[in-house]
Every structure is written in C-alpha cells, then in structure tokens.
C-alpha cells in the first residue's frame, strides 16, 4: 500500500516535472494568440546610401535564427523576400518633390512590402520583418494597420534616431530618416506620397513612443515637441532607468487587443560596442541588456503583433564586428519572440 502510493507520488512528480520541462513558450503570447511567426525579408537599401544593408535578412537567417526559434517549439514560416529587382531596372536616382532620394522607388517597394505584412497578420501570424534600412517601416506599419482596420496600431520605436523627418526638413534626403512622418496625421500635408496617395496616415503623435534617442536633428525635435510625442532619449534612460522608461511607454501607448503593438527596433539603438555593423552608429547607446529588457517587456504585454529589426549591414566593420552585430541581433530576436536569454 505504502509502496503503491509512494509510487503514485513519484509518477505524479515525474509527469509534472516533465510537463514543466516541456513548458516552453508556445504560440500563445499573452492575450493575443498567434498561430505562427511569419518572417518577411525586406532586402532594401534605397532609403540610405550604403549597399550592404539589403543583405541584412540573408545574414540574419544564415546565422541560424529560424532553427533557434524552432528549438523553443515556435512554428516559424518564412514568407520570403520582397526584392528590389523590379525597381532596379529603373535604378536612376530620382528625387521626390522635396529632394527625397529614390522617392518613388522607396514608396513603390514599401507598398508591396505592406501587402505581404498584411497577409502574414491576416493569416494570424506574428510578423517579423528583417531589414533592410529603416525606410521599410513605411511598409510594415502601413501593412499592420491595413490588417487591423478597426483597431489603432500603437508603435514603440527603439532607435538612436527619431526618423521623423519630412522631405522638407531632412538635411540628407535619405528616406530611412523619414518613415515616422509618413504615418502621422498631423504631418500629412508635409509628406509627399505616390500619385494614388499611398501611404495613408494611420496614427497620431500619441500612438508612438521612442526609446534610445541620441542623434535628433533640430527640425525633428520640433516635430516631437509640437506633437507632444513621448520620447525617452539616452539621457532619460540614464536618469530614470530602463524599467521606468518602459513602464511609462506602455502606460502611454496602452497596448491591448484593440491596440495591437508594433515594435520597430533599429539595431543602432544599441551601443556601437554591441552592434558596430550599421550605417549610422552613434556612441553612448543602449547596452544589450537594456535592449533585451525592452523586448522582453514588449513580449510580456501579450500584444506584440509585428516587429521590425533593421539597419544590420554586414559590409561594415571587421569580421568580428559583423559577428558581434549578428549575435546582438539574434539575442534581441530570441528574447522578443521566444522570451529566452541564451547563447547562440
Ligand atoms: N534609420 C536610421 N538609421 N536613420 C538615420 C537618420 C539620420 C538623419 N537623421 C537623417 O535623417 O538622415
Ligand atoms: Mn537609427
Ligand atoms: Mn532608424
């Protein structure tokens, strides 16, 4: 009798511990349920002047991202690449009305990208878009909004830069410094669109928050101030600490089932000591641990529906620099999507 019952307890113990061992993060992230993670490769570089950034998606995938995510029982579907080929047949530099470099090409590419992002979300996937330069967030956020016509998408933008220039305010003409302005209703009249008036603005200044800023131009700061946009620069991260900053962002954005969350993560938000291979590095950035804390908190809200990881450029820096940058990138993605810290 005693033997029997202790046997039963042993069985119970072993079955509960084995089910615990299997308790890896499954496909239910908080209260938004996803059937899979859909990966979109946005191999695009016309939003700035360096070629290599279009190879970001390939090197990130070659570094074993999908296999690593699958090790945590996540179902991953590769939706393939939105390529620049069609645009390249007409690759002459064409300026927009306010000097935006490759204006129509950037927008035409993003319109196609937006359709694929919309498809991933409509098929109930959590959409991860690998860039590419940050101009691809014109398409990803638009596609996310298209998939949720009855809901307000809210955006957490993690970056050294505000990327809120318009053609008129930009000193460089590079459209990777302009994606945010394309989505804001308040700036609608300052943004030049395609003849079919794509993209339509899908949010207001109170639907976006920033973390990590440290290289913001005067015109951009004026947009942030005028629109009352919540923005935590590295100075505030330093003063308040990363958890207070994250909490204030979520209090403000109020992600929920009615307010799906879009995370746009520029790898240059991290300090260049952590992620050197990127086109516009700025020293004094987030530690990898702070970056991980941000994306862990994002995941834990349960309302993450789409994420961009942009500006990894494998042609910049030494072999060691590229390796470090890819390790940091994978660390961020593993924490954001699987809720895990660990080695690659
Ligand atoms: N996504 C980026 N890395 N953006 C950098 C933008 C730099 C500068 N503010 C510009 O508009 O040209
Ligand atoms: Mn940046
Ligand atoms: Mn950026």
Q: Which of 56, 65, 34, 61 is nearest to 340 (CA)?
A: 65
Digit-coded pLDDT (tens) for 45-98: 999 999 999 999 999 999 999 999 999 999 999 999 999 887 766 667 899 999
What SS3 class is residue 214? coil
From 190, 82, 202, 184, select the one nearest 142 (Cα to Cα): 202
Work out which ligand 1 atom sits closest to the CA atom of 278. Answer: 3
Q: Whose CA is nearest to atom 9 of ligand 1?
A: 177
Residue nearest to atom 8 of ligand 1 (CA): 177
Locate 21 and state its tokens: 């061992």
Q: Which atom of ligand 1 is nearest to the CA of 216?
A: 9
ipTM above 0.90, yes or no: yes
Q: For 176-199, write each residue's pLDDT tens digit.
A: 999 999 999 999 999 999 999 999
Whole-model pTM: value is: 0.91
Q: Which residues contact 89 (CB under 8 A, 6 or more apart)?
A: none
How remote is the CA of residue 157 from the centroid of ligand 3, in Å? 8
Distance 176 CA to ligand 3 centre (A): 6
The number of the ligand 1 atom at minimal distance from the alpha carbon of 215 is 9
CA 280, 283, 288, 294 torsion-angle sign: negative
**Taking every pair of C-alpha atoms in the chain, what is the biggest distance, in angstroms?**
87
How many angstroms separate the alpha carbon of residue 267 from the centre of ligand 1? 13
Hey, which of 161, 181, 310 would you mutate to test ligand 1's pocket, going by the most ligand atoms within 8 Å of its Cβ?
161
What is the Å distance from ligand 2's center to 266 Cα?
A: 5
CA dist 112 to 109, 195, 237, 277, Å? 5, 15, 36, 27
Residue nearest atom 7 in ligand 1 by C-alpha distance: 177
CB of 140 closer than 8 Å to CB of 310: no
């Amino acid at each position: 009798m005693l033997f029997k019952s202790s046997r039963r307890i042993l069985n119970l113990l072993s079955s509960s511990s084995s089910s615990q061992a299997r308790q890896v993060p499954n496909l239910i992230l908080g209260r938004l349920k996803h059937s899979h993670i859909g990966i979109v490769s946005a191999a695009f570089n016309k939003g700035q002047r360096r070629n290599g950034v279009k190879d970001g998606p390939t090197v990130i995938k070659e570094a074993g991202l999908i296999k690593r995510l699958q090790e945590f029982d996540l179902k991953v579907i590769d939706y393939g690449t939105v390529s620049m080929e069609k645009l390249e047949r007409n690759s002459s530099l064409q300026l927009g009305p306010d000097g935006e470099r490759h204006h129509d090409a950037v927008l035409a590419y993003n319109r196609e990208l937006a359709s694929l992002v919309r498809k991933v979300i409509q098929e109930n996937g959590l959409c991860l878009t690998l860039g590419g330069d940050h101009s691809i967030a014109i398409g990803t956020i638009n596609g996310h909004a298209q998939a949720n016509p009855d809901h307000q998408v809210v955006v957490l933008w993690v970056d050294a830069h505000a990327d809120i220039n318009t053609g008129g305010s930009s000193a460089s003409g590079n459209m990777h410094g302009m994606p945010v302005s394309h989505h804001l209703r308040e700036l609608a009249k300052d943004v030049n669109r395609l003849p079919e008036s794509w993209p339509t603005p899908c949010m207001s200044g109170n639907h976006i928050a920033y973390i990590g800023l440290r290289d913001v131009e005067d015109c951009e700061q004026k947009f942030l101030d005028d629109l009352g946009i919540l923005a935590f620069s590295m100075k505030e991260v330093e003063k308040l600490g990363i958890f207070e900053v994250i909490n204030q962002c979520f209090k403000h954005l109020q992600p929920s089932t009615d307010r799906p969350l879009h995370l746009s993560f520029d790898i240059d938000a991290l300090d260049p000591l952590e992620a050197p291979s990127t086109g516009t590095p700025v020293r004094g950035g987030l530690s990898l641990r702070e970056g991980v804390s941000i994306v862990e908190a994002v995941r834990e809200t349960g309302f993450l529906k789409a994420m961009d990881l942009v500006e990894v450029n494998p042609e910049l820096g030494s072999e060691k620099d590229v390796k470090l940058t890819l390790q940091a990138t994978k660390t961020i993605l593993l924490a954001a999507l699987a809720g895990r810290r660990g080695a690659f």
